[in-house]
Every structure is written in C-alpha cells, then in structure tokens.
Structure 1
Amino acid sequence: MDTRSKSKPWLFLYVLLLFSYKTHGADTISAGQSLSGSQTPISQGGIFELGFFRPGNSADRFYIGIWYKNFSDRVIVWVANRNIPFSNPSRSELKLSKDGNLVILSNSKIIWSTDLPCNSTTSSSLEAVLLDSGNFVLRDGPNSSALIWQSFDHPTDTWLPGAKFRLNKLTKEAQPFTSWRNSEDPSTGMFSVGLDPNGSSRYSIQWNSSKTYWTSGVWKEPNISLVPENRSTYLYNYSYFSNENENYFTYSVYNTSILCRIVMDLSGQFKQYVWLDGVWYWNLFWSQPRRQCNVYGLCGAFSGCNEQTLPFCECLQGFKPRSSEETSLSDWSGGCVRLQCQNNTSDNGNEDGFIEMHNTSLPEKPQYLPIGSDKECKLACLNKCACTACAYNSNGCSIWDGDLLNMFKKQEAAMGNCSTANFPHNSYHRLLHMLSMYEKAQRNR
C-alpha cells in the first residue's frame, strides 16, 4: 500500500519529462502545430537542428534555418527566408497552413511559403520532418515515401551528401548554390555555381549571375576532368545522372561518422569541408578556383587582390573602402571610392597626379586612343574627370572610365604555375590612376 503511494509521484514526473522532450526535441511539425521562439526540432540521429537564428551581431534580422547540432560555432546549411528576415521573433512562427504549405508568419503576415500548387494534398496526416541528411521535407504521414516538398530542391549556399546539384531540362533552369552576402548576412550574394544550361555535365561559377570566371571539365567517370578531387574514393561516392527531365550530380559518404559539406563560399570559391571523428575542426578538402585572386570581382571597384596579404583585398592608393562595415565582414563587393577629382587644375599647389603600379593586371574594357606618347596619354586622362586610369606601351594609349574592376597583383614566384593568358604579356606595363588632392597634400608635406 505504502509502496504504491510513494511510486505515483515518480511515475507522474517520468511521464512529464517524456512529454517535454516530445514537444521541444522531436523532428516533426505536424498539422496544427507551429515552431516559434526557442523551439528547435532535432533530426532523429541528433545531427541537424532547425530553428530561429540571428546571424552575427544583428539586432533585428532573424531567420529560420538548419545547422549542425552540438557545434560551438554554428554552421548554417540552409536558410528558408534568406532574403526576407523578420525583426520580431516573439510574433513570428513556422507552421503548416490549412492549404498544405509550410509558411513563416511574422506579425500575422506570410513572409515565406513553400508555394505549392493548388492541387497539393491538405491531408490531416501532413507533416514536416527534419531528416538526418539535413533535408527538411514535407510528406503525407510517416509511412509516405513520396515527398511533397524538400529543402534539398531549394538550396542556399550548401550542397550536402544525398542532395542533387541539378539542371531542370524541361525549364532549362539550374538549381544553383549561391553565396551569402557577407559573414553576417545570408541574403543572396555575388557568387553562384550551377550546371551548364546547355545540358553538358560541366558546371561553372559566376559573379553577379552574369560573368563566368571558372568552369569545370566534363564528367568522365569516376570524376570531373578538371576537378580530380570530385571523384569516388574510400571516403565519397560521386555520381552523375542524366535523363529526359534533368541532369544532376550527387554524392554520398561511406562512413556516417564523417560530416561533409560543399559550399559556395562568400570568397567566390566552391569549397568542400570535412569533419572527421576525433578532429576538432573543419578541414578544407578542396576549393575551386584554387587561386583566390582568380575570383572575378572579388574586391570590387578600385581595389586590388593580393594573395600575400590578409585581407586579400586592398584599396588603390588615394581610395578608401566604400563601406568599412561591409569589408570587416569579408564583403568587398562595394569596392573603394576616390575622394574627389580635381582634373588638371591647381588648388594651393595641389592637383591630380598619377601613381605607377607595376606587376598588376590591367582592368577590363579599355578605351584605345590614337596618342603617340606617354605624356599625351596622361594628359588625355587628366583632362577627363571620368577617367580613372591610363596605360601606355608600344601598342599605344589605353584609358579607363568609371570603376576599375578585377585587378590583382602578379605573383612572380608563382608565374610558372599559372597560365600567361591571365597576365599582360609585358610585365612592365604601367597602370596609373589619379591621386586625390588629399593624398597629394599628404605626400607633399
């Protein structure tokens, strides 16, 4: 009698703890449920976690994303509302709506949705589940093998094992991976990687969705010809498939204790990272393009790339970062700005001048002038405020208006490993740009 009466409180406490785990630690959001606040569904094997997050020091930008669980540094692999953050997490939630869509509500307004077609299921057994693969899926009950929607079909910057790197042949639309804007902003960045829209097995990296600056070779089993790291080994199994509907790459990891991710990094490089059991850091396995300064437009206008310094980008003399806040977050897309233009006039003994820059690649889109001397070339640039640089050699005078983009220092020691097509044939070409009045005054003190 006494034994049974003493056991009841313990039985009640045990049931209460189970209920708390099911509410806050499950991997599933069912119809009629929502995710809010500090609730974080965890995949069944405890590998991934989903929930609200605020990147860096942002005070008013919140997102819903997926990250690896149990890492001191949170590594985000997917973001739902990457371009539409919300500012009030206490009045925001992720839920299954009555029409069968996953939606993010903020202040009772839909800011993100899976946007499923009208004929999708609205079954009461509908559920959203976070899988151990890092895939967040929508399905009609736990026994359903067909997925109504999956985050793997809507990637941000990360390619996880089991996901497709794909091209829809019917729509000619690639499914790209796109970098973050900067280290604290997951919105769409300047760099993306996608499969060849013409249907080949190549993939390429682009700047601003317009300028291709690196392209892989074609798939020749067991690897891509120009990316030998993308091959089946004792660690990974890479595959390429093509049918009437799609082309796609996919890969798997043989040892499930090994974590792997391939990222379109905000550095403009496509990188593979590996976490081995017992090693307490992410190991960089490969990156393309291999040279950081081969990334097009990395440093923005009026800035040069130098692989011998950190950060890689630095403003030309006489210029300053357009945004010191952005550059501190590894975002140099805004480039640098010149203080002012004085043309070829004098003010208190100061006027615009030039500085020679040796061993530097020339910017693109020059204008050629029929001028016969170095002095005349400089004067033509000085007399035009829009002119920002000039160069003169045996081929004549070249000037540049507006932004100077995609310059980098030539590394003479590495020249033997690089294609000469990346550099001017004459390593003594001169690249000159105007000094601001301020810089000239500083120099003349």
Structure 2
Amino acid sequence: MAAASVWFCRENRRKRLFIFGDGAGDRAMRIWTPRSCRGDCGDVVGEDKALTERSIMSWSNPFILAFITTFFFVSSFEFLLSSATMDTMTPGQSLIHWQVLISAGNEFALGFFSPGESKEFYVAIWYNKLPTDPQTVVWVANRDEPIADSNGVFTLQDDGNLAVLDGTKKPSWNTSVSTNATRLVAVLLDSGNLVLRDGETTVWQSFDYPFDTFLPGMKIRVKPKTGSNRLLTSCKKDDNFRLGRLSFGVDGHMQNQLFIWYNLTKTNWQSGLWNGNNFEEIPEVNKNFLFYFTKNSSGDEVYFMYSTIYTYTRLVMDASGQLQFWIWYEPAEQWRMGWSTWRDGCDNPLKCGVYGICDSKNSPVCSCLPGFEPVSPAIGAPGIGKMGAIGRAGCSVVRETSSSTCQI
C-alpha cells in the first residue's frame, strides 16, 4: 500500500480531513478538500508511514472513514493518486472536480469552483490559507465557458497546452500556445501565478491573462506600437464570472495614466497623468501608504505594477464600476476596503440608469435627459423607478415630458 500522510484542518469548530499520497515519492493528491484551511494543519500520521484503517480509526468520523476506505480499495485509486504533484502537473496529468493544486508555500490553490448559487463550474485560483467561505477567487480560466456540471477535467495535454474539458471532452478553454518544449510542466506559484515552464523558460502564465483582480507582481501592460493591452474586466455578477462591461487598464495611446472603460469605448474614470511618483487625480494612493504604483518599461511594452506592505491585498475591478483596493484584516478575519475610485455616488456610471443625468449637488441627484421620463414608478412609491435600487432605475423615451426630473 502506498505511503501517505493524513492532515487535519479546523474551520468553524469542524474537522476536515484530506490526504496526500506519496507512494511514488513525487506524487500527491488531495482527496478530501476543505473549503478553506488556515494553514494550522498538523501531520497526524506522519510521512513515510503506511496509511491503514487502524492508523486513522481514532481520527476519523464514520463518514470520512468510509470515504477513505472506499478510495483505498477501489481499483482506480492508484490512478487518482498519481494524477498530479502538489503544485505541479506534467503532460498527460489531470485534475477532476475534487482535486486541487496547492502552491509550494500553501498560499494559493487551483481547482474547480462554483460561485454562490451557481451550478456551473470554473477552474479558478483562490487564497488557500484565508478562512473565507466561499474562497476569494483571484483568477479564472474558463470564465466565459463554465462547465455545466461536476464532470469537468483540467489537464496538461501532450501538446503542451493547459485545457479545461467538459464531461464529453469538449474543450471550454485552453492556453493556445505552440511549443516544442520537451521539459514542460505547469506550476502554481505562491504569487498566485500559474505558469507553463520549459526548464527555466516561461512559455505561458496566468498573470498575462487577468481576471478581475490585480495582485502584487502582476503587470497592467500595453504595447505602444500596436496599442494592444491587458485589462482587468469585471464579472457580470458575483456568482457569474463571465466578462462584464467594466475594464481597467492602460490606453494604447496614453500610456501615462490608468483608465476604467464601459464596454471598452466610454471612459468612466481616469487616474490623471503619472508624474513619476503618483497619479495626479489620485495622489492619495501613494501617499497613504496602502499601496504604491510604479511605472516600468521593458522591450516593446510599458506597464504598471503595485506593491504593498500588507501580506494579502488585491485590486479588483468590481461589477459596480469601482476599482477597489482590499486588505486582509487578520484580527477580524475579513477583507476590508482600503481605497476606491468612487468619491461620491455620481462616480458610479450606472447610478442614474440609461438616459439619466447624475449631479451629486442636486436633490434628487438623478434626472432624465429632455424628452425622456422615468421608467414606470412602483405602486405606492411615486417617483421611484420600477427597478427599485439606486443604480438599477432609468429613464425611458416614452413621450415628451414637461418635467425632466427623474427621482430614483
């Protein structure tokens, strides 16, 4: 029987068990995946010891014991055990929905993830140590083509490409690289970056294809000669990772400032020019010591990065239209917003809806363009848009009106 280690993680007074098998010396798999593990797990069996029913009897409840026993004695167990090393995949190896990669320092994990009430599955990277439920996702592979059920596979194919396949082996995403590499591996790093390597050469990396999250070490980049850039793009909703309408990045023709665009055409926010120390419109960013932007150039590209003194931070292009800087506050075990691009409600491009005008100095702050009127008011609440909440009501070109006020 292959040697293995059993570990316990405690979360909200619940014990959660997972196993690493190391029978081949370089192979491992997590069978029982905790939703989150704070890193205070202990080796209760010990490495290089044969894992038997007797050795885990005192540690496992009946359900987990039955679960483990089943996996040890079914014929496919050795195949599952050899599917991937802890942080690395080689060509031909795969992950299924309960398996994960974990970076060498346990900082990040990669696996299948289903957000909120969604029944769709994405291959995602999330913080592995933070006790959040659900996990805080920082990158998604197949964001526009999620898998409809739990039968998906994440694999490093023999042609050198990472791919997400559904239950019929139809690809929903792949890295689309062309390489003749002979020593190719995929590694999840402690920075949160998933890289394809040929020896010491990086062939592809997830940091070049951002989700909605900007992490320390990432680059928001642009190639001035071609105008091509890499953008953070919001999600449609919290439980729908598909591409939203808000994007953040550097313009191909104005490389000295940062922008937020709506539908990639309308500028909703800009940072002001970079003066070598900070951005003119947001000087508080580099002055409040929360995080620091730096501008660099390399070859044919210009890019901005940020650094911080905090252990866990992320800059997020939120679906509401805000660029938000979040800091992990350990005493309360929660994320706290340290900065946002919104200074008042009218910074939200969606606040007054379609054909609406926002003026924070007026009361009400929203009005309709001439020739438009409020969307039908709700019963018993004159003047309130039928869609209700701020940022959801709007104005409709039903008929000319004598009054342009549209209170929402």
Structure 1 length-normalised TM: 0.64
| CA distance in structure 2 between the partners assigned to 1:170 and 1:177 by the alignment | 21
Which of 217, 223, 238 does residue 168 from structure 1 map onto?
223
Matched letter for residue 121 of structure 1: N
CA gap 1:63/1:206 in 2 versus in 1, 3 angstroms: same
Listed one character per residue, the Cα deviations across residues 40-61 of structure 1 (whole Å, up to 9, x for unaligned) are: 11111112111111111112x2
| CA distance in structure 2 between the partners assigned to 1:331 and 1:108 by the alignment | 41
Which of 190, 193, 196 does residue 132 from structure 1 map onto?
190
TM-superposed CA distance for 1:185, in Å, is 0.6
CA gap 1:12/1:283 in 2 versus in 1, 3 angstroms: closer
Contact persistence 1:237–1:254 (CA under 8 A): no
**Is it true that 1:240 corresponds to 2:246 in the alignment?**
no
Larger Rg: 1
- Deviating more after overlay: 45-54 vs 238-247: 238-247
**Is it true that 1:274 corresponds to 2:327 in the alignment?**
yes
**Is it true that 1:290 corresponds to 2:290 in the alignment?**
no
Which of 62, 67, 88 does residue 28 from structure 1 map onto?
88
Listed one character per residue, the Cα deviations across residues 219-276 of structure 1 (whole Å, up to 9, x for unaligned) are: 2232222112332776644310134511111122345xx2010000111011101114
Q: Output aligned runs, 1:334-353, within 5 Å.
A: none
- If each structure's helix is expressed as a fraction of its own residues, which one has the higher value? 1
Which of 52, 60, 67 does residue 126 from structure 2 map onto?
67
Listed one character per residue, the Cα deviations across residues 276-327 of structure 1 (whole Å, up to 9, x for unaligned) are: 443422121111132232222345337787989xxx9999462469997xx8
TM-superposed CA distance for 1:218, in Å, is 1.6
* Residue number in structure 2 paired with 1:217: 272
Contact persistence 1:202–1:216 (CA under 8 A): yes
CA gap 1:307/1:108 in 2 versus in 1, 3 angstroms: farther
- Deviating more after overlay: 298-307 vs 27-36: 298-307
Contact persistence 2:216–2:306 (CA under 8 A): yes
| CA distance in structure 2 between the partners assigned to 1:233 and 1:128 by the alignment | 38
**Is it true that 1:114 corresponds to 2:171 in the alignment?**
no
* Residue number in structure 2 paired with 1:19: 22
CA gap 1:185/1:232 in 2 versus in 1, 3 angstroms: same
Task: Give the number of aligned pairs.
Answer: 322
Q: Output aligned runs, 1:293-308, within 5 Å.
A: 293-298=346-351, 300-301=353-354
Sequence identity (%) = 34
Which of 241, 248, 254 does residue 186 from structure 1 map onto?
241
| CA distance in structure 2 between the partners assigned to 1:115 and 1:204 by the alignment | 28
Aligned-residue CA RMSD (Å): 3.5
| CA distance in structure 2 between the partners assigned to 1:167 and 1:174 by the alignment | 4
CA gap 1:250/1:14 in 2 versus in 1, 3 angstroms: closer
| SS of residue paired to 1:137 | strand
- Deviating more after overlay: 42-51 vs 259-268: 42-51
| CA distance in structure 2 between the partners assigned to 1:305 and 1:284 by the alignment | 25
| SS of residue paired to 1:230 | helix
* Residue number in structure 2 paired with 1:373: none
| CA distance in structure 2 between the partners assigned to 1:225 and 1:48 by the alignment | 35
Which of 297, 301, 304 does residue 249 from structure 1 map onto?
304
- Deviating more after overlay: 277-286 vs 265-274: 277-286
* Residue number in structure 2 paired with 1:78: 139
| Structure 2: gaps of 5 or more residues | 7-18, 31-84, 368-372, 379-383
Matched letter for residue 64 of structure 1: V
Listed one character per residue, the Cα deviations across residues 324-355 of structure 1 (whole Å, up to 9, x for unaligned) are: 7xx89x984xx5687xxxxxxxxxxxxxxxxx
| CA distance in structure 1 between the partners assigned to 2:98 and 2:336 by the alignment | 30
Matched letter for residue 260 of structure 1: T
CA gap 1:129/1:323 in 2 versus in 1, 3 angstroms: farther
| SS of residue paired to 2:101 | coil
**Is it true that 1:39 corresponds to 2:94 in the alignment?**
no
| CA distance in structure 2 between the partners assigned to 1:275 and 1:19 by the alignment | 34
Matched letter for residue 245 of structure 2: M
| SS of residue paired to 1:41 | strand
| CA distance in structure 2 between the partners assigned to 1:29 and 1:267 by the alignment | 37
Structure 2 length-normalised TM: 0.69
Listed one character per residue, the Cα deviations across residues 174-230 of structure 1 (whole Å, up to 9, x for unaligned) are: 211111101111111111112121143111111121111211112223222211233
**Is it true that 1:54 corresponds to 2:57 in the alignment?**
no
Q: Output aligned runs, 1:192-203, within 5 Å.
A: 192-203=247-258
Contact persistence 2:131–2:333 (CA under 8 A): no
Q: Output aligned runs, 1:295-374, within 5 Å.
A: 295-298=348-351, 300-301=353-354, 316=374, 318-319=376-377, 332=392
| CA distance in structure 2 between the partners assigned to 1:105 and 1:27 by the alignment | 20
**Is it true that 1:87 corresponds to 2:148 in the alignment?**
yes
* Residue number in structure 2 paired with 1:403: none
| SS of residue paired to 1:85 | coil
| CA distance in structure 2 between the partners assigned to 1:203 and 1:273 by the alignment | 18
